[in-house]
Amino acid sequence: MKAKLYFGSTCKDKKECKEVCSPYDGRVVSSFCLCDATDAKEVLEIARTAALHVKQIPLHQRTNWLLDVAQKLEIERERIALCITDEVGKPIAFSRVEVDRCIETIKLSANAMLHVNGETFDTTAMPSGKKSLSFYKREPVGVVLAITPFNFPLNLVAHKIAPALVAGNAVILKPTSQAPRTAYELVKLFIESPYAPKDALSLLYSGEGVNETLITSEIPRVISFTGSVSVGREITQKAGIKKVALELGGNAATYIDASADLVLAAKRCAVGAFINSGQVCISLQRIYVHESIYESFAQALVNESKSLHVGSPYDEKTFIGPMVNEVAVLKAKRWIQSAIDEGAKPLCGFTYKALLFEPTIMADVSEAMAIVCEEVFAPIVSLIKVKDYEEAKTKMNASDYGLQYSIFCNDLSIVQRAIDELEAGGIVINDIPTLRFDLQPYGGIKQSGVGKEGPYFALLDDYTQIKSVVIC
């Protein structure tokens, strides 16, 4: 099926298109219209005009709009889940979970806007003040540019467009070229809703000059981007004076303390390291294990990892499907081989067939190896023996990234220290750093980005702005 364009509420087609092939079997599963700078300029002007009237739409209509889309998405659950699996190779069971999360994200966004309020303040609180009616209110920023990745091609779109739209903004979405149809199906539901404001949402795909035109334009007042550090840095350099929200890479780590439940820790760490073939920004990549339990934990993790089914993403029992493309597989292979050449040892895995990559556990690694210090984005995890929490903390915090960390520990004094001392945007206790609830504030520090996702927090940080009012 061809993913068409939306220039505001108007669906458009183009002859020039690009095919998308299944990562699993190579068959053509979708295609999308190639865009150019002229398309981008037209959409920018449509969004600029739309922003003036979208903000006037009553809040009850905007919230009903989102709830209507969520309801229709529930009906289309299986079809859209299959679309995700077709385009990015995500196992069908997890594609269904992503649709469910997307529905939740949209509903959360509708509800969150009901709690975005202003506040009055007393100007006589300072000697130079005088009595007045003074308050601030929140209003939409205008036009939002949303750029989304392949690994969660539905829910990450919802995390950007749902709060932005319910806040009263006009939105231009540019999704990944690896899952254009998934994004198209969601946008279509938004635009065809009877509650949809005219031209509030536009959809463009890749093409010559598109990124440059959208990013450098003064029309978008906010750019919300999820993707690599290198692209995030480039956007920041080119964007000019506008807000740029960045959810970038990660190098998630956990510490397994001697007091931890080893059975629970091994089971959850296998999930955290290998779900979605490790193609998650908060995929567990480094496991620091107390030396007294290292051997026991390593064996338990190997056993858990070997029990995970690798295979067809259309098989209900599959846990690990294909990686997204050959480039990703070759990079993972190259990094593992480099680590082995430097003395590391695979405890399991490091075998692959086509784009199916077996879960791989690496031991005897050093902190300088790419599989340890860089974002791997593959089903690879490294085990590192440490003397205690203090050593684990030092090594975890040495990373250039800081998205989410966790510890498995039943010693309250260590837990309290970890909450205060680990340098990351989120800390999880007694579970994996890969754990994310869609209502929570989510976003990193250091090279992991700027700003927070989560509907309520995105509404405050990115999609609304404060206007101060004084009535004398």
Query: HSE on the CB side for 224, CA within 13 Å?
Result: 29
Instruction: Choose among 57, 155, 167: nearest CA to 115.
Output: 167
Active-site residue (options: 102, 269, 281, 409): 281
Active-site residue (options: 247, 304, 375, 453): 247
What is the spatial distance between Cα 418 and Cα 192, in angstroms, rounded to a whole number? 48
What is the spatial distance between Cα 155 and Cα 99, in angstroms, rounded to a whole number? 7
CB 205 within 8 A of CB 39: no
| Cα distance between the two ends of the chain | 60
Q: Which residues pair with 449 in a beta bridge?
A: 247
CB 71 within 8 A of CB 187: no
CB 235 within 8 A of CB 225: yes
The pair of structure tokens assigned to 409 is 């520990």
Instruction: Choose among 53, 57, 48: nearest CA to 220.
Output: 48
Residue 247 appears among annotated catalytic residues: yes
Q: What share of the chain is helix, strand, coil (3-state, %, to 5)?
A: 40, 25, 35
Task: Spell out where 141-218 has E strands.
Answer: 143-147, 170-174, 201-203
Q: Cβ-count burial of 147 within 10 angstroms (0-12 exposed, 13-18 middle, 19+ buried)? A: buried
CA-CA-CA-CA torsion for 58, 63, 69, 73, nearest 10 degrees? 180
Residue 83 appears among annotated catalytic residues: no
Q: Which positions are catalytic?
A: 247, 281
